[in-house]
Amino acid sequence: PRPLPLATTTSSAVVVRGSIEVKPLSYHKFLDSALDETRRRVQLRPSPLQESFSSLKGMDAKTDLHMLSFEAPKIRLLRGLHIDGGESLQVLDFAAFPRPEFDLPIFCANFFTASSTNIIVLDLNPLYDVITRVDYREKYYKALLPLAQKYTTLLPWGGKLTSESLRLFSPIVIWTRFASTPYMHDVLYSAFMDYYKAWLEIMDQATEEVDEVRISENQEAQHRYLTWRAEKDPGSQLLKKLIGNPSAKDLIKNFLFNGRQELGSKTFLDYFPEYQCEDGTINEKRSIMGKSFEDRPWDARGEFIGSL
């Protein structure tokens, strides 16, 4: 028998005129619940970004994009994008970026649902390399390994992925693909809320760094992360198709991966020189290394078992 989802369900079946109709998936509820949970712990202030980014209409005239953004004492930016294209397209991109005084991981939920396909990444993205920096791995992920254990059987490894992505993922990452069913969306909702609560908990407990050197290391690590994602995120093609090139670039640079101006001055090629073309421009490829990691390269103890 399949284990039951643990949190409240998303796909409430409603009886309409004697027949059972299942409400289609919408990521609206995911965002709502995450914000409720955040407000239980911290006082959220609207981000100054909210004025410029609140909603957009897709060029197909039937897709809506909703943006929300906040700040909190330990959170530089908490932002969410919900793309609502009805039953044929639902996207959630929800992230929490800590202030540089904290070496907290970056909360990352990227859920793409089109017709019946789901492409899912859910993680507390590490600020530092968790393969070489065992201290960082132990500090944040050791206690969370049981959480990953709970979900990786229900949400198994999604197969080969852009190799560079793996360096941005943690030992508890959920990378999965599945065909839509109400049950799977309930499992996803459970995992999302459990992971987010885990992030809120470590955020609550985090103490502010006072060492200037450490603060600037945190700042550069976050800047490098933002620089990669603003340039190479797999979602950007679809965003360009939905809202056009200029608006998509603006959304990616100034909303989704906001902070590159303030947090540092290094360029993409400073961080990732292997992407430099002969004429000095950035290689358009999404990945130089190609795709790999057929199976989950982390074991149950959080040790890396893949080959780099």
Contacts with ligand BLA, residue ranges (CB under 6 A): 83, 91, 93, 108, 110, 112, 119, 121, 125, 161-162, 165, 168, 229, 234-235, 238-239, 291
Nearer to ligand BLA, 113 or 190 (CB): 113
Q: How far is the CB of 120 from ligand BLA (least distance, A)?
A: 8
In whole angstroms, give the CA distance from residue 38 to residue 139. Answer: 22
Which residue of this chain has its Cβ atom nearest to ligand BLA in the complex? 235
Q: How far is the CB of 171 from ligand BLA (least distance, A)?
A: 14
Q: How far is the CB of 243 from ligand BLA (least distance, A)?
A: 10
CA 269, distance to chain mean position in Å, is 23
C-alpha closest to that of 77 among 209, 204, 256: 256
Nearer to ligand BLA, 45 or 228 (CB): 228
Q: How far is the CB of 291 from ligand BLA (least distance, A)?
A: 6
Nearer to ligand BLA, 148 or 161 (CB): 161
In whole angstroms, give the CA distance from residue 171 to residue 183. Answer: 25
Q: How far is the CB of 286 from ligand BLA (least distance, A)?
A: 6
- Please identify which residue in the block is written with the tokens 């969306």: 185
Contacts of residue 28, Cβ cutoff 8 Å, sequence gap at least 6: 66, 82, 84
Nearer to ligand BLA, 67 or 198 (CB): 67
Nearer to ligand BLA, 61 or 213 (CB): 61
In whole angstroms, give the CA distance from residue 293 to residue 230. Answer: 23
C-alpha closest to that of 156 among 165, 148, 147: 148
In whole angstroms, give the CA distance from residue 197 to residue 204. Answer: 10
